[in-house]
Amino acid sequence: MISKHNEQSELKEIGIKESQIATVYIDKTSKEIPEERDAVAKIVNTDGKETHYIKFRRGQLFDPYGIDALKLNARDNRYKKVDMDLFLLYKKYLQTRRETFLLQAKRDFIKRGY
């Protein structure tokens, strides 16, 4: 997991000031939460432009209801930047817990070559 300090220092390196950044964390029930600790996805708002990130583990989308259920805060979890369509599919999976949405998101992930 990337710490808040590392995330901010990475953003500063590319010229984004801390005051311009607002981060919304999403938990496994697709609700907004204040901390990254229990998050599976996040939305970073930089000067009105949203960037979407999903947690990944083992090179695949993180599945908080399946094989990854007990690995929410594992060290090898990473966030990857994804487009809005993939993010919405993943969020729909979190809301409904229907694996068809996760499967669609995984296929979209492979198709787009992330």
Share of the chain above pLDDT 70, in %: 82
Query: Which tokens is 54 given?
Result: 């999903």
Alpha-carbon distance of 10 to 63, in angstroms, equals 26
Q: Calculate mean pLDDT across residues 7-11.
A: 62
Q: Calculate mean pLDDT across residues 50-64.
A: 93
What pLDDT, on a 0 to 100 scale, did the predictor assign at position 112? 84
pLDDT tens profile 86-112: 999 999 999 999 999 999 999 999 998
* Predicted structure pTM score: 0.78
Higher pLDDT, 103 or 8: 103
Task: Pinpoint the alpha helices (H) of 56-98.
Answer: 84-96
What confidence category does residue 47 fall into, taking pLDDT thresholds of 50, 70 and 90? confident
**E strand map for the chain:** 21-26, 32-33, 41-46, 49-57, 60-61, 78-82
- Cα–Cα–Cα angle for 113, 92, 70, rounded to 5 degrees: 80
Please answer whether residues 44 and 34 qualify as being in contact, where contact means their C-beta atoms are separated by less than 8 angstroms. no
Alpha-carbon distance of 53 to 81, in angstroms, equals 4
Tokens 């990944």 sit on residue: 56
What values do phi and psi take at 12, rounded to 5? Answer: -65, -35
